[in-house]
Structure 1
Amino acid sequence: MNYGQLFHKKNSDSFRIHVEEPLRVQQLASAVFSFLPASEDRSIVIVCIGSDRSTGDSLGPLIGTKLLERQCPLFSIYGSLSSPVHAKNLEETMITIKTLHDNPYIIAVDACLGRTTSVGYMTVADGPVKPGAAVQKSLQPVGDIHMTGIVNVSGYMEMLVLQNTRLSLVMDMAESMSRAIWRAAFWQKKRATTLAVAPQKEINL
């Protein structure tokens, strides 16, 4: 898919792809980009949710760290290994975001648990994510859209399951998802530049 086709690509409510798929980064990036607002009126904020104290739950902070290292264009990043966004500071972080950013468009990024056959899948979907749902925590929903990585199996002793998740899987997902977000941000920057230099039609009153 070339850049021009992205303008005409219609978003569906959700998209998912496995971490071992060869074109995962391109397709994830395309899915993220399809949801982004074309107007520059809304700043785009990435909230990477999770904790560096649990292998499975570290997906979000790892993605945030990688995006900060890559200096992701246009997007503001909250949540990293050194400064994670988790259950104890999520509400405060959201207040800060809404104070510093006017009408932000928020992309929530989080790890989640699922069926055995779903482990290794990465998703992009419309609407907010519900942080803590996998471990029976009631936290405020976050995001205009959300990205999740299914890191392990749900249904039994979820906290222990998250702590005993394979680090290699989490690292592979973090690399793929961060690269996809970075690419979507690059396309968004290019779209903003294209719209800024596009000739304005004369309006006859």
Structure 2
Amino acid sequence: MIDISQTTAPRSDQLNADDLIGGPRTITVTRVSKMKEPDQPIAIYFEGDGGKPYKPGKSMRRVLLRIWGQDGTAYVGRRMTLYRDDAVQFGGAAVGGIRISHMSGISSAVTMALTVTRASRKPFTVKPLPEKRSRAPEKRQDDPAPAGEQQDAPRQPSSRDRLYAAARAEAAKGSDALRFFRADLDPRADRALDAIADDLERIAAAADVADDDGFPGFAPPAEEAA
């Protein structure tokens, strides 16, 4: 096969919506940096970015804040799927932009209202991204393993991992949802959440603010490109 997608890539210092014409891309975050550009204050570097980080627009920064919290350094190692949305508008014209469809660290879909125009907000849903599993090399039946060598099985999420993911998903719905979730847990499981209590409170607080006015400190923005 001759892959022509690389011949159509736009010249840019960041991931562009046109880079995703060929289809969605799942990335693993390696670093988050603060930039000087007021319209694109955050750069998210990822494995294989080729020096072209993802610089999310305001709407997608709200999604990141709602689901992963306000500490960008905690994003390292997490994964998300990006896709091109042809309906994204700028200046009244559909120019296309980058949207997030899936994110790791959640056990169920998260829906929130995002501003489309000054007078319009629409629901936006992000789905859970399955854990990445490493593929073991194929082994012939007549090729025995060396003595003492044990075949590594893919790591399965522990009960604590599942508890943490469920708690973060509830926190993303707001403080009340988190409080009801913890109230239904047995005391031992509830105590286990104390290790991530600060993170849960940040996620819930961000969700509460987003429900009130969309995003802390911002008036409803005009149409934007991602």
Higher helix share: 1
Q: Which has the larger radius of gyration?
A: 2
Whether the TM-score (by the shorter chain) exceeds 0.5 is: no
Task: Provide TM-score, normalisation by structure 1.
Answer: 0.26
Task: Provide TM-score, normalisation by structure 2.
Answer: 0.24
Which structure ranks higher in relative contact order (CA pairs < 8 Å, sequence separation ≥ 6)?
Answer: 1
